[in-house]
Amino acid sequence: MVTIDWNNLPFGYIKTDYNVRCFYTDGKWSKPELSDSEYINVHIAATALHYGQESFEGLKAYRGKDGKIRIFRWEENAARMISSAEGIKMAPVPMELFREAIFTAIKKNERFVPPYGSGASLYIRPLLYGSGAEVGVKPAAEYTFIVFVTPVGPYFKGGVKPVNMLICRDVDRAAPQGTGRFKIGGNYAASLRAIVRAHDEGFGNVIFLDAKEKKYIDECGPANFFGIKNNTYVTPLSESILPSITNKSLLALAENMGIKTERRPIPVEELSEFEETGACGTAAVISPIAKIVDADENRIYEFCKDGKPGPVSMKLYQKLVNIQYGDEPDIFGWNTFIE
Ligand SMILES: Cc1ncc(COP(=O)(O)O)c(C=O)c1O
């Protein structure tokens, strides 16, 4: 049996013992089945391959000091996957089936849930795709739902570090009335050329603007954006961004901590007014932003001038991570225990 160095886990894929698979045929979902294979057999005419009928989710399970395993807000991911499925005309995975599949995947791979204190967690990746064969452009009649898990290290090794972001005007991740609010592969494919360019130029990621007017901030690569000013947490309101569960949680925590919240369009120039900015998502919880470069407008917006993350971002970050690991009371009832 391979031994895992829990303290030095990458944020990447490691093979675990089992994954869980369900099949939708004749209008019905099958019971979850266990598989120990990392491979799938896909029909050459599956709609996932040709017409992008594919959606995925990402959530995490954490081991607390008490040894218990907690999953964070799985119902939100289940609901978002239903919305994504409806958005691209796939058969949705019912909540109860989603629950059974992810709980089974975690239980059967319990030895891969990292120990408390390592900063690592078990990443859960549900995947839904059109597996039925079609040649004309139409939804498949058959679907496959798979859940695999993999242990991941903390996003920032050795503590949270501010990152630099590049504003992008010549690539759109999602159209105003397109599929940006669904978690589907096509949005990620559309974002890759901007993300790769930003990485090549030494940036942590890219900031996409609204596709119609290029006036407002949409998303930060695979994460939502937020800014802090005058004790207010401000985050974009847009039809083309993914409704982040981390962002939703940070909004609730901010309110609870006496920080005002606003969800509204954020014009690019407002960046000069923020005291702190950051990207938020399951992977890193919060990535504080040090610098945002707007090369087209010849402007640089700087935050964290001392190289350290801002105090409000760190307070929110710590509070959320403490709830996820069970170090603070779960005041909103976000965690579900795996018995
Ligand atoms: C495009 C995009 N936006 C935002 C997020 C953050 O969402 P969540 O907090 O639910 O992980 C993600 C990651 O899932 C993402 O891929």
58 close to ligand 1 (CB < 6 Angstrom): yes
pLDDT at residue 277, as a whole number: 97
pLDDT at residue 160, as a whole number: 86
285 close to ligand 1 (CB < 6 Angstrom): no
321 C-alpha to ligand 1 centroid (Å): 17
On average, the pLDDT of the chain sits at 96
**Cβ partners under 8 Å of residue 40, min gap 6:** 144, 146
Predicted confidence (pLDDT) at residue 266 exceeds the cutoff of 70: yes
Q: What is the mean pLDDT of residues 44-60?
A: 98
282 close to ligand 1 (CB < 6 Angstrom): yes
Predicted confidence (pLDDT) at residue 115 exceeds the cutoff of 80: yes
Q: What is the mean pLDDT of residues 68-80?
A: 98
Q: Work out which ligand 1 atom sits closest to the CA atom of 246.
A: 9
Among candidates 299, 207, 287, 301, which has minimal Cα distance to 250?
Answer: 287
Q: What is the mean pLDDT of residues 139-160?
A: 92
pLDDT at residue 1, as a whole number: 63
| Separation between Cα atoms, residue 245 and residue 283, nearest integer Å | 11
| Separation between Cα atoms, residue 83 and residue 92, nearest integer Å | 8
Are 324 and 72 in contact by the 8 Å Cβ rule? The answer is yes
Q: What is the mean pLDDT of residues 227-236?
A: 98
Predicted confidence (pLDDT) at residue 158 exceeds the cutoff of 80: no
Sign of the C-alpha dihedral computed for residues 188, 193, 196 and 201 taken in this order: negative
∠ Cα 320 322 328 (to 5°): 110
Confidence of residue 34 (pLDDT cuts 50, 70, 90): very high
How far apart, in Å, are the Cα atoms of 216 and each of 209, 257, 299, 338? 5, 27, 16, 41
219 close to ligand 1 (CB < 6 Angstrom): yes
Q: For this structure, is 183 an active site residue?
A: yes
246 close to ligand 1 (CB < 6 Angstrom): yes
Candidate of 55, 208, 282, 316 to mutate for ligand 1, largest count of ligand atoms within 8 Å of Cβ: 282
Q: What is the mean pLDDT of residues 250-276?
A: 98
Task: Give the three-state DSSP class for 220.
Answer: strand
pLDDT at residue 318, as a whole number: 96
| Separation between Cα atoms, residue 69 and residue 105, nearest integer Å | 13
Predicted confidence (pLDDT) at residue 182 exceeds the cutoff of 90: yes
Q: What is the mean pLDDT of residues 2-16?
A: 89
Candidate of 183, 184, 235, 241 to mutate for ligand 1, largest count of ligand atoms within 8 Å of Cβ: 183
Among candidates 321, 271, 320, which has minimal Cα distance to 299?
Answer: 271
Confidence of residue 2 (pLDDT cuts 50, 70, 90): low
Q: What is the mean pLDDT of residues 8-16?
A: 91
Percent of residues, the chain, with pLDDT higher than 90:
94
- Measured by CA distance, the residue closest to atom 16 of ligand 1 is 222
84 close to ligand 1 (CB < 6 Angstrom): no
Predicted confidence (pLDDT) at residue 154 exceeds the cutoff of 80: yes
Are 156 and 179 in contact by the 8 Å Cβ rule? The answer is no
| Separation between Cα atoms, residue 239 and residue 222, nearest integer Å | 16
Sign of the C-alpha dihedral computed for residues 100, 101, 105 and 106 taken in this order: negative
Q: Report pTM.
A: 0.97
Q: What is the mean pLDDT of residues 233-244?
A: 97
Predicted confidence (pLDDT) at residue 159 exceeds the cutoff of 90: no
Predicted confidence (pLDDT) at residue 75 exceeds the cutoff of 80: yes
| Separation between Cα atoms, residue 64 and residue 71, nearest integer Å | 11
Of the residues 15, 107, 157, 183, which is catalytic? 183
∠ Cα 330 286 93 (to 5°): 65
Amino acid identity of residue 319, one-letter, is K
∠ Cα 112 114 116 (to 5°): 150
Q: What is the mean pLDDT of residues 124-137?
A: 98
**Cβ partners under 8 Å of residue 314, min gap 6:** 160, 288
Q: Work out which ligand 1 atom sits closest to the CA atom of 59.
A: 11
Strands 205-209 and 163-168 come out as parallel
How far apart, in Å, are the Cα atoms of 210 and each of 189, 237, 267? 18, 10, 10
Among candidates 313, 298, 154, 149, which has minimal Cα distance to 233?
Answer: 313
Predicted confidence (pLDDT) at residue 124 exceeds the cutoff of 70: yes
pLDDT at residue 121, as a whole number: 97
pLDDT at residue 5, as a whole number: 92
